[in-house]
Amino acid sequence: MMTMLPEFMGELFKEVDGKNDSHDVSIYSLSTCMWCKKCKNYLKDRNVKYKYIDLDSLSPNQKSEILEYLREKYKPDRIAYPFLVCDDKFVVGYDPNKYEEIMK
């Protein structure tokens, strides 16, 4: 069974425009997380178009649904922030070298 994006999620993403739009990039982050800010700045500095959701701004139910979705779809060893998804690949935590690798 294909893991479906929870329906409400599409409306929650905030879009950040950029000229580099060759990949579908999403960030699952926390508004207070320093590493999440660095991740967003990394993408902004490279003019990458991306969308993000700050999970700490959601209801507990929405947050747990999204976390369940991430666990089922990507099967990470752990969930940490930022959780960056580029097309069908993901990076857990702030790691510019890995970002560069998956966005080639």
Query: How confident is the model over 73-101, as pLDDT tens digits?
Result: 999 999 999 999 999 999 999 999 999 99
Domains, in order of start, for the chain:
14-97 (3.40.30.10)
Question: What are the helix (H) ranges across 1-104?
Answer: 9-12, 34-45, 60-74, 96-102
Confidence of residue 11 (pLDDT cuts 50, 70, 90): confident
The number of helix segments (H) and strand segments (E) in the chain equals 4, 5
∠ CA 101-41-95 to the nearest 5 degrees?
A: 35
Report pLDDT for 5: 66
- Phi then psi for 102, rounded to 5 degrees? -80, -10
Please state the rounded mean pLDDT for residues 36-40.
98
Distance in angstroms between the alpha carbons of the first and the last residue of the chain: 29
HSE of 6 in the Cβ direction (CA atoms, 13 Å)?
A: 17
